[in-house]
Chains A and B, each alone.
Chain A
Amino acid sequence: MSKHPHDEWSQVLFRQFKDAGVDLFTYIPDAGNARLAELAEEDNETRLVLLTTEEEGVAMAAGADLVGKKSVLMMQSSGVGNCPNYLSFSKGGNFPCLMMVSMRGDYGEQNPWQYPMGQAVDKILEAMGVMVFRVDRRDELEAASQAAINAAFRNNQGAALILTQKFLGAKAF
């Protein structure tokens, strides 16, 4: 079996999330979260939940938090545009909401449909009080993800780990 191109760092992130007590992994599939989703599905102590739209994961995180459990919501940057209303849970209610956003519409994008939302991600997250932790290079990953984990679960707020196209590589069309 050939190794998934995102295997190495996905293993690292999965271990960090799991060590932080995350056991619920909600997601809309994207190339950037595909390997991490596989890891969450294969592990006996974590559960992978396929959503129909990204904001469901914000609500599921709130429901899990009400009974003391932690989750991470994994999505492509376009999905950030579906989330703002539900981010009232974190901004107004102090619910933790840890997100992992794999970017489209930034460095090297070839699909013009991706630019408008890709370029609005930071502003939308900022407007709803979500702290943003950006990863452009592999050597930034662990510190950024730990910072996002800390912000979400120690300060009870929205926190997004943003994996840019510099880090992930741009999709060819």
Chain B
Amino acid sequence: MTKITLDRRELLAPLFPDKDKWLFVSGLAGSSKDAAGLTNDGPNLFTMAGCMGSAVATGLGMALSAPEKQVAVITGDGELQMGLGSLNTVATQAPANLTIICIDNGTHGETGGQEGHTAQRTNLAMIAQGSGIPSVKEITSADQIADAHDFIRNQPGPRFLWCRVLPGDPTAFKRNFNPAECRIAFRNAYFQSA
């Protein structure tokens, strides 16, 4: 079995040194904290604190509607598994500008660290491959982040990057939880940049 040594708090910054060029959607809880830490809760990031399972579909709607932009979904293993069918929808639509980053800590971190399916037998990379997503990669250690950086830029999209991390704390960051305010901020920034 692969030994996991990756600390999630050290993942996103080296993966996205060009973070201002991307549009980000993040799933609830830890992945949104990590994403908000990356962008300083900037207006090119829409974080969620509910609607569990919706992050991939939200990113898909965005990627199909803004084909000139690179869109990255950053979400956790629990959130992703609540909307697994969306991987099939992504594969069929095949937006070249969509990247899915799954930060998999193998636990439901926000609710007390209850062990999840991926700590048992579930392999999310094989699920993504089986869905028909053309480019899939797994990383488990910090020395693989440079490869992952190139993977999400050079491999044909849509892409799925399975980042298996230690079950430690996410980035400490207090983001705006108001979805209506976050919607307006994101749209305004997008229209100004377009």
Complex CA distance for A65 and B53, rounded to whole angstroms: 18
* Interface hub of B53, B55, B61 (most chain A Cβ within 10 A): B61
Complex contact B180–A93 (CB within 8 A): yes
Number of interface residues of B (CB under 8 A): 36
B57 at interface, CB cutoff 8 A: yes
B52 at interface, CB cutoff 8 A: yes
Contact residues of B between 135 and 180, Cβ < 8 Å to A: 179-180
Complex contact B190–A59 (CB within 8 A): no
- Stretch with Cβ within 8 A of A (4 or more), from B6-14, B32-40, B80-88, B110-118: B80-88
- Stretch with Cβ within 8 A of A (4 or more), from B62-70, B100-108, B119-127: B62-70
| Partner among B50, B66, B86, B187 whose Cβ is within 8 Å of the Cβ of A56 | B86
Complex CA distance for A52 and B82, rounded to whole angstroms: 12
Complex contact B86–A52 (CB within 8 A): yes
A166 proximity list for chain B (CB < 8 A): none
Complex CA distance for A86 and B66, rounded to whole angstroms: 22
- Nearest-CB distance from A106 to chain B (Å)? 28
Closest to B180 in A: A94
Complex CA distance for A57 and B51, rounded to whole angstroms: 13
B23 proximity list for chain A (CB < 8 A): 66-67
Complex contact A67–B54 (CB within 8 A): no
B30 at interface, CB cutoff 8 A: no
| Partner among B60, B83, B92, B191 whose Cβ is within 8 Å of the Cβ of A63 | B60
Closest to A58 in B: B54
* Interface hub of A57, A61, A63, A85 (most chain B Cβ within 10 A): A63
Closest to A92 in B: B179
* Interface hub of B57, B66, B191 (most chain A Cβ within 10 A): B57
Complex CA distance for A24 and B62, rounded to whole angstroms: 11
A10 proximity list for chain B (CB < 8 A): none
Interface size class of A (residues with CB under 8 A): 20 to 34
Contact residues of A between 46 and 83, Cβ < 8 Å to B: 47, 49-53, 55-69, 71
CB contact under 8 A between A51 and B89, given known A92-B180, A94-B183: yes
- Nearest-CB distance from B73 to chain A (Å)? 9
A49 proximity list for chain B (CB < 8 A): 64, 89, 93
CB contact under 8 A between A24 and B54, given known A68-B187, A93-B179, A93-B180: no
A167 at interface, CB cutoff 8 A: no
Complex contact B85–A53 (CB within 8 A): yes
Complex CA distance for A20 and B152, rounded to whole angstroms: 36
| Partner among B58, B64, B66, B191 whose Cβ is within 8 Å of the Cβ of A62 | B58
Complex contact B86–A64 (CB within 8 A): no
Complex contact B59–A63 (CB within 8 A): yes
Complex CA distance for A69 and B63, rounded to whole angstroms: 11
Complex contact B54–A59 (CB within 8 A): yes
Closest to B69 in A: A67
CB contact under 8 A between A65 and B51, given known A51-B89, A52-B89, A59-B57: no
> 26 pairs across A/B with beta carbons < 8 Å?
A24-B64, A24-B65, A47-B64, A51-B89, A52-B88, A55-B57, A56-B54, A62-B58, A63-B25, A63-B57, A63-B65, A64-B62, A66-B46, A66-B186, A67-B66, A67-B190, A68-B65, A69-B65, A69-B66, A71-B61, A85-B51, A88-B50, A88-B51, A92-B180, A93-B183, A95-B183
Q: Which residues of A contact B (CB under 8 A)?
A: 23-24, 47, 49-53, 55-69, 71, 85-86, 88-89, 92-95
